[in-house]
Amino acid sequence: MPRELTQNRIQKIWVPTKDDRRRAGGAPHFANPPTVIVMVGLPARGKTYMSRKLTRYLNWIGMPTKVFNVGEYRREAVKNYSSYDFFKPDNECAVKIRQQCALAALRDVRSYLKDEGGQVAVFDATNTTRERRDMILKFGEENDFKIFFIESVCDDPSVIASNIMEVKVSCPDYRDCNKTEAMLDFQKRIECYKKSYQPLDPDQYDRDLSFIKVIDVGRRFLVNRIQDHIQSKIVYYLMNIHVQPRTIYLCRHGESTDNLKGRVGGDAGLSPHGKQFSSALARFVEEQQLKDLKVWTSQLCRSIQTAEHLGVPYEQWKALNEIDAGVCEEMTYDEVKEKFPEEFALRDEDKYYYRYPAGESYQDLVQRVEPVIMELERQENVLVICHQAVMRCLLAYFLDKSADEMPYLKCPLHTVLKLTPVAYGCKVESISLNVEAVNTHRERPEEVKRGPGTLIRRNSVTPLTSPESNIKKPRIDDLDEAPIQELPPSVSALALCSPSHIPLTLPGQHWLGKVCLT
Amino acid sequence: MELPQLEHTRLRRHDSAASVPQFCNSPTMIVMVGLPARGKTYISKKLTRYLNWIGVPTKMFNVGQYRREAVKIYKNFEFFKPDNEEAMKIRKACAAAALKDVALYFTKEQGQVAVFDATNTTRERRAIILSFAMEMGYKVFFVESICDDPEIIAENIRQVKFGSPDYADRDIDEAMEDFTQRIDCYRASYMPIDDEKDRKLSYIKIFDVGSRYLVNRVQDHIQSRIVYYLMNIHVTPRSIYLSRHGESELNLLGRIGGDTGLSPRGQKYASALATFIKGQKIIDLKVWTSHMKRTVQTAEALGVQYEQWKALNEIDAGVCEELTYEEIQENFPEEFALRDQDKYRYRYPKGESYEDLVHRLEPVIMELERQENVLVICHQAVMRCLLAYFLDKPADELPYLRCPLHTVLKLTPIAYGCKVESFFLNIEAVNTHRERPLNVNITRNPEEALQTVPDHI
């Protein structure tokens, strides 16, 4: 006898009546065993850049992902970095500390994937020796985690120098140095790693591993043994991103006649102010003096009309259409409240997951808009003229905002957001074009209680902000097992450890079972 | 500045905007490289089918076919010996003829991608192609297939070579022997794409049927999509089962769209489907449904886990949702006629077109390629789109493919295509298939419009 079905009130998904727990996303969940992505490569090869970007993307498409950067663990353990001597292979004390940092990070990886609902952990470290990688593989085997390596190989000195200038020179390690000193020290640091570097060997030693080698910042890729859907998506993503400087402009269509009436959805044309905005936008674009600007619109009239004023070719994407409000299309919020009071309340309760009857949710939007994001990654200068909900989705991707925040991001009419990638993130400038418009933003109502509660589930399409590093919290609280030990006196004698900062011996052994500390 | 009057034409002209921007500017040549029996034609055909389905006009040019035209009777492998000067002349001429046709395809037939299927195993041959492309302003992307596993190669030969016209009159052992020597003729002069010398070229090398890939200098969107597709396909034997939901309440009333549950006969079908599936004894079957009640209810009867995809939802009929065809004719006679004029591109007001559906379904197809045994329980228009992909049906046939209720289609990849078996599970259901009427003019009268509407309550 087939089970009775009910449609859950927020997402409008049909589930067996008794099985309330089941929460389908817009698409099947493909990750089963958790995955550890292991970065490999010399310093300044873009490992952290890729780690963070990939993590942001995976979280946005609803795959809970977190970065574990071993360098951060090291900075916790060794409060004051003095010089590249720390990274010399014969510096025994330092080697021990670095080993223990890696183990501590792996311990946190395990906890994230097993106890905290994580699906993917990105292990961001050099991992340049077979020994280190073998240890990680064993760790993966013991815990039933899939392992996928991402190796970045680059020998172009100008790329490396540019990386160092962009992110290393300003890092905490070099806060007391000037740029030239920092650059010189960092280059010597790289030399320390070079001698013992064993790249992944697809022909012999590593031929059974799953990995991608990114060569020369994406000019070439070697992909070996993709195991599953998520690895395939990761590879596709890595093959589409680039590091060329460029700018993305996001804005909404000019004010529409429906906006003036307070109506949602629909396919109305521009109001007089909307037309003014479009002209102002044309002037703005000209002033920016961009070479090769691509202009994208949705297939709704108001977005296309706005683009028409620019006098340049533009491309229409149906995927950029505004969220479908289903039975509520073209109503004012008051009319919705009157005709569908329950729906109105449900939406405020959980605006991200809420699907309009016969319409869409923000969760559906994320899935719909994903190909746009992929193409934005491939492109260079782009102006996207879209709609409020859509713009919130795109913005949440670029600024790493969670599902909870996304539906309340401020995207007012007649304002252009200028996004420029910089270092590991994105600079945002908000530019109002000084043409009056109505306000269409509805704040989160006070009465609605916040917090993820029961609604964020493993494997559902729920963008999460990339989680904060463990390091931000004082580590002492976590060491419930082993006692704090002082380092042997020979260590304190080294210039790198000042007496007032005694690094903690991080308990690694027993957490990782048979993995041994060498 | 006076804005041009924006007309909402749901019926789009062929060259106007589709659901997604058209990313091809210069035409692209995909050039296959590899010894015989390495899967080049298999990949060429599959890739061509995929690109055409997503709306990129693509055509395959198989040089072997040109050779069979030029040399009516194939004697034996000696034709392929590198010192056979006369044969060399003919083979070169065939390649040149194929290139000429590529140019014609791009200039006269609005093609966007041409797949040049030949061994192209020497640097000399590839240099000729590259200079041809440069002269004409075409982009070039190489796809090289490298495989040394004797089992795979033997299996390839069995699957496709024995059926080739070259070996029509031979017995299997003779054919195998001859073909093996044919491969040896190429082997001596085979120069794979060189990672150093050819570092400026755009290419993908596929090793051992997809165990490893080397990708160099992807230039643009279409090459990126091609690489993604090639990295997701596999050759492991499997079957894909396509079925619609059981008959629904609205089906009985002749109404389109909506989100109702199954009728009593629909429930019976769901049980029959469960029995059928069990009888197929499939290992590790994945079951997919849409988000609509009728597909979920159908899957529930199977008693196994299933995954819901919003992308599998039926085509959105916009303002026509839940109407009968008679009501559509009465309320929107012009729309009704426009739809009959171009059913593939026609978009319901506030709804979707088949063209939109195809773009919506692309991630489903990609995942179907990755998977093995899958049962997809979906809807009429959606099933037509999926079927058109597997059976390589063009856009004008797609909206008229027959996908009746209570019938399971079993698709099994074989040789270069797909075997289809149709299983009607013996539970009566209404017919929901509406043929294209004779008169599609907007001036037609209601009887002419409703001529082909199937019976309902």
A486 pLDDT exceeds 90?
A: no
Q: How far is B91 from chain A (nearest CA, A)?
A: 33
Whether A124 is in a domain gets the answer yes
Q: What is the CATH number of the domain that holds A343?
A: 3.40.50.1240
Look at A66-75, A126-135, A359-368, A496-505 and tell me which has the smallest mean pLDDT: A496-505
Is the Cβ pair A14, B291 closer than 8 Å? yes
Is the Cβ pair A316, B321 closer than 8 Å? no
Are A201 and A301 members of one domain?
Answer: no
Mutation target to probe the A interface, by most A beta carbons within 10 A, among B234, B288, B308, B352 is B308
Residue A496 pLDDT grade (very low, low, confident, very high; cuts 50, 70, 90): very low
Instruction: Report the pLDDT value the prediction gives residue A19, as an integer from 0 to 100.
Output: 60
The contacts found for B216-219 with CB under 8 angstroms, 24 or more apart, are: B216/A219, B216/A220, B216/A221, B217/A219, B217/A220, B218/A239, B219/B139, B219/B141
Distance CA(A124)–CA(A101), nearest Å, equals: 12
Helix axes B221-232, B354-370, angle to 10 degrees: 40
Are A310 and A346 members of one domain?
Answer: yes
Is the Cβ pair A14, B296 closer than 8 Å? yes
Give phi and psi for B383, each to the nearest 5: -65, -35
Looking from the CA of A82 toward its CB, the CA atoms found within 13 Å total 10
Virtual CA dihedral for B65, B67, B70, B73, nearest 10 degrees?
Answer: -90
Q: Which residues, other chains included, contact A385 with Cβ-Cβ below 8 Å and sequence gap of 6+?
A: A251, A252, A253, A295, A296, A297, A298, A303, A306, A307, A314
Are A184 and A294 members of one domain?
Answer: no
Are A302 and A359 members of one domain?
Answer: yes
Q: Where is A211: in which H helix or E strand? A: strand A211-215
B175 pLDDT exceeds 50?
A: yes
A515 pLDDT exceeds 50?
A: no
Residue A316 pLDDT grade (very low, low, confident, very high; cuts 50, 70, 90): very high
Angstrom CA distances, A501 to A78, A88, A92, A154, A491, stand at 7, 21, 19, 36, 12
Q: Please tell me which residue in A72, A76, A151, A322 is annotated as part of the active site.
A: A322
Instruction: Report the pLDDT value the prediction gives residue A294, as an integer from 0 to 100.
Output: 97
Helix axes B40-53, B380-391, angle to 10 degrees: 150
Distance CA(A510)–CA(A23), nearest Å, equals: 37
More confident residue, A447 or A138: A138
Residue B157 pLDDT grade (very low, low, confident, very high; cuts 50, 70, 90): confident
Q: How far is B97 from chain A (nearest CA, A)?
A: 33
Are A197 and A269 members of one domain?
Answer: no
Three-class HEC string of chain B: CCCCCCCCCCCCCCCCCCCCCCCCCCCEEEEEECCCCCCHHHHHHHHHHHHHHCCCCEEEEEHHHHHHHHCCCCCCHHHHCCCCHHHHHHHHHHHHHHHHHHHHHHHHCCCCEEEEECCCCCHHHHHHHHHHHHHHCCEEEEEEEECCCHHHHHHHHHHHHCCCHHHCCCCHHHHHHHHHHHHHHHHCCCCCCCCCCCCCCCEEEEEHHHCEEEEECCCCHHHHHHHHHHHHCCCCCCCEEEEECCCEHHHHCCECCCCCCECHHHHHHHHHHHHHHHHHCCCCCEEEECCCHHHHHHHHCCCCCCEECHHHCCCCCHHHCCCEHHHHHHHCHHHHHHHHHCCCCCCCCCCCCHHHHHHHHHHHHHHHHHCCCEEEEECHHHHHHHHHHHHCCCCCCHHHCCCCCCEEEEEEEECCEEEEEEEECCCCCCCCCCCCCCCCCCCCCHHHHCCCCCCCC
Q: List the one residue out of A515, A274, A463 whose CA is nearest residue A387.
A: A274
Instruction: Report the pLDDT value the prediction gives residue A482, as an integer from 0 to 100.
Output: 34
Convert the pLDDT of each residue in B28-66 to its tens digit: 999 999 999 999 999 999 999 999 999 999 999 999 999
Residue where one domain finishes, among candidates A409, A432, A455:
A432
Chain A partners of B3 at a C-beta cutoff of 8 Å? 275, 305, 308-309
Q: Tell me which residue in B3, B212, B367 faces A223 most closely, judged by beta carbons.
A: B212
Q: Tell me which residue in B215, B221, B356 faces A375 most closely, judged by beta carbons.
A: B221
Whether A147 is in a domain gets the answer yes
Residue A463 pLDDT grade (very low, low, confident, very high; cuts 50, 70, 90): low
Whether A496 is in a domain gets the answer no
Q: Tell me which residue in B296, B309, B356 faces A27 most closely, judged by beta carbons.
A: B309
More confident residue, A467 or A248: A248
Rg (alpha carbons) of chain A, rounded to whole number: 26
Q: How far is B119 from chain A (nearest CA, A)?
A: 23
Under DSSP, is residue A241 helix (H, G, I), strand (E, B) or coil?
coil
Residue where one domain finishes, among candidates A414, A432, A450:
A432
Instruction: Report the pLDDT value the prediction gives residue B138, as an integer from 0 to 100.
Output: 97
Q: Please tell me which residue in A76, A151, A253, A370 is annotated as part of the active site.
A: A253
Angstrom CA distances, A42 to A113, A188, A224, A379, B39, stand at 27, 12, 20, 28, 38
Question: Residue A157 sits in which domain range?
Answer: 35-239
Is the Cβ pair A301, B231 closer than 8 Å? no
Distance CA(A101)–CA(A435), nearest Å, equals: 54
Are A168 and A258 members of one domain?
Answer: no
A450 pLDDT exceeds 90?
A: no
With beta carbons less than 8 A apart as the criterion, state whether B309 and B289 touch: yes
Q: Cβ of B305 under 8 Å from any chain A Cβ? A: no
Convert the pLDDT of each residue in A212-242 to its tens digit: 999 999 999 999 999 999 999 999 999 999 9
Q: What is the CATH number of the domain that holds A214?
A: 3.40.50.300
Which domains are seen in chain B, by residue range?
28-231 (3.40.50.300), 240-450 (3.40.50.1240)
Q: Tell me which residue in A26, A304, A315 faces B21 most closely, judged by beta carbons.
A: A315
Angle at the Cα of A509 from the Cα atoms of A145 and A38, rounded to 5 degrees = 35
Angstrom CA distances, A340 to A56, A331, A337, A349, B9, stand at 36, 11, 6, 14, 32
Residue A492 pLDDT grade (very low, low, confident, very high; cuts 50, 70, 90): very low
Whether A484 is in a domain gets the answer no
Is the Cβ pair B310, A235 closer than 8 Å? no
Chain A partners of B261 at a C-beta cutoff of 8 Å? 5
Whether A502 is in a domain gets the answer no
Distance CA(A465)–CA(A462), nearest Å, equals: 10
Residue A371, amino acid? P
Q: What's the whole-number average pLDDT of chain B?
A: 92
Strands A65-69 and B28-33: unpaired
Mutation target to probe the B interface, by most B beta carbons within 10 A, among A12, A153, A220 is A220
Angstrom CA distances, B76 to B80, B90, B104, B154, B356, stand at 8, 15, 32, 19, 50
Q: Tell me which residue in A13, A240, A319 faces B308 most closely, judged by beta carbons.
A: A13
Whether A491 is in a domain gets the answer no
Distance CA(B299)–CA(B285), nearest Å, equals: 13
> In the sheet that A65-69 helps form, which strands lie side by side, from edge to edge?
A65-69, A120-124, A35-40, A146-153, A211-215, A220-224, B212-216, B203-207, B139-146, B28-33, B113-117, B58-62
The token pair that represents A190 in the structure block: 């790289």
**What is the average pLDDT across A46-68?**
96
Chain A partners of B213 at a C-beta cutoff of 8 Å? 221-223
Is the Cβ pair B215, A239 closer than 8 Å? yes
Q: Tell me which residue in A232, A267, A317 faces B370 most closely, judged by beta carbons.
A: A232
Chain A partners of B199 at a C-beta cutoff of 8 Å? 220
Residue A435, amino acid? V
Mutation target to probe the A interface, by most A beta carbons within 10 A, among B13, B215, B250 is B215
Distance CA(A496)–CA(A78), nearest Å, equals: 8
Helix axes A301-308, A272-288, angle to 10 degrees: 50
Are A233 and A272 members of one domain?
Answer: no
Strands A415-422 and A248-252: antiparallel
Is the Cβ pair B231, A226 closer than 8 Å? yes
Q: Cβ of B350 under 8 Å from any chain A Cβ? A: yes
- Rounded to two decimals, what is the model's pTM? 0.89
Q: Cβ of B369 under 8 Å from any chain A Cβ? A: no
Mutation target to probe the A interface, by most A beta carbons within 10 A, among B207, B213, B221, B369 is B213
With beta carbons less than 8 A apart as the criterion, state whether B205 and B193 touch: yes
Whether A477 is in a domain gets the answer no
Active site residues of B: 245, 314
Instruction: Report the pLDDT value the prediction gives residue B78, as an integer from 0 to 100.
Output: 92
Convert the pLDDT of each residue in A386-412 to its tens digit: 999 999 999 999 999 999 999 999 999
Chain B 171-230, residues with CB within 8 Å of chain A CB atoms: 199, 211-218, 221, 224, 227-228
With beta carbons less than 8 A apart as the criterion, state whether A233 and A63 touch: no
Q: What is the percentage of chain B residues whose pLDDT exceeds 70?
A: 95
Chain A partners of B301 at a C-beta cutoff of 8 Å? 2
Instruction: Report the pLDDT value the prediction gives residue A3, as an integer from 0 to 100.
Output: 80
Are A115 and A230 members of one domain?
Answer: yes
Are A126 and A181 members of one domain?
Answer: yes
Residue where one domain finishes, among candidates A239, A267, A299:
A239
With beta carbons less than 8 A apart as the criterion, state whether A206 and A200 touch: yes
Strands A146-153 and A35-40: parallel
Q: What is the percentage of chain B residues whose pLDDT exceeds 90?
A: 86
Is the Cβ pair B300, A5 closer than 8 Å? yes
Distance CA(B17)–CA(A298), nearest Å, equals: 11
Distance CA(B233)–CA(B369), nearest Å, equals: 5
Angle at the Cα of A64 from the Cα atoms of A59 and A70, rounded to 5 degrees = 95
b/e sequence A210-224, b meaning 16+ C-beta within 10 Å: bbbbbbebbebbbbb
DSSP string, A116-161: S--SEEEEES---SHHHHHHHHHHHHHHT-EEEEEEEE---HHHHH
Instruction: Report the pLDDT value the prediction gives residue A1, as an integer from 0 to 100.
Output: 61
Look at A446-455, B37-46, B296-305 and tell me which has the smallest mean pLDDT: A446-455
Is the Cβ pair B292, A14 closer than 8 Å? yes
Is the Cβ pair A24, B291 closer than 8 Å? yes
User: From B298, which residue of chain A is nearest by alpha-carbon distance?
Assistant: A2
Are A199 and A292 members of one domain?
Answer: no
**What is the average pLDDT across A333-341?**
96
Distance CA(B318)–CA(A321), nearest Å, equals: 15
Under DSSP, is residue A296 helix (H, G, I), strand (E, B) or coil?
strand
User: From A236, which residue of chain B is nearest by alpha-carbon distance?
Assistant: B228
With beta carbons less than 8 A apart as the criterion, state whether A284 and A431 touch: yes
Look at A28-42, A74-88, A355-369, B284-298 and tell me which has the smallest mean pLDDT: A28-42
Is the Cβ pair B17, A299 closer than 8 Å? yes
**What is the average pLDDT across B215-241?**
96
Instruction: Report the pLDDT value the prediction gives residue B19, as an integer from 0 to 100.
Output: 54
Q: How far is B307 from chain A (nearest CA, A)?
A: 5
Residue B161 pLDDT grade (very low, low, confident, very high; cuts 50, 70, 90): confident
A36 pLDDT exceeds 50?
A: yes
**Binding positions of A for substrate:** 252-259, 302
- Interface A:B, Cβ pairs < 8 A: 120
Q: How far is B233 from chain A (nearest CA, A)?
A: 11
Instruction: Report the pLDDT value the prediction gives residue A29, as an integer from 0 to 100.
Output: 53
Number of domains into which chain A is organized:
2
Is the Cβ pair A28, B308 closer than 8 Å? yes
* Model ipTM value: 0.91
Is the Cβ pair B224, A308 closer than 8 Å? no
Angstrom CA distances, B371 to A370, B285, B367, B431, stand at 21, 10, 6, 32
**What is the average pLDDT across A81-94?**
89
* Residue B247 marked in a binding site: yes
Are A210 and A63 members of one domain?
Answer: yes
Mutation target to probe the B interface, by most B beta carbons within 10 A, among A222, A314, A365 is A222
Whether A508 is in a domain gets the answer no
Are A232 and A289 members of one domain?
Answer: no
User: From B213, which residue of chain A is nearest by alpha-carbon distance?
Assistant: A223
Convert the pLDDT of each residue in A263-275 to its tens digit: 999 999 999 999 9
With beta carbons less than 8 A apart as the criterion, state whether A19 and A106 touch: no
A24 pLDDT exceeds 80?
A: no
Q: List the one residue out of B243, B32, B68 whose CA is nearest residue B168.
A: B68
With beta carbons less than 8 A apart as the criterion, state whether A209 and A203 touch: no
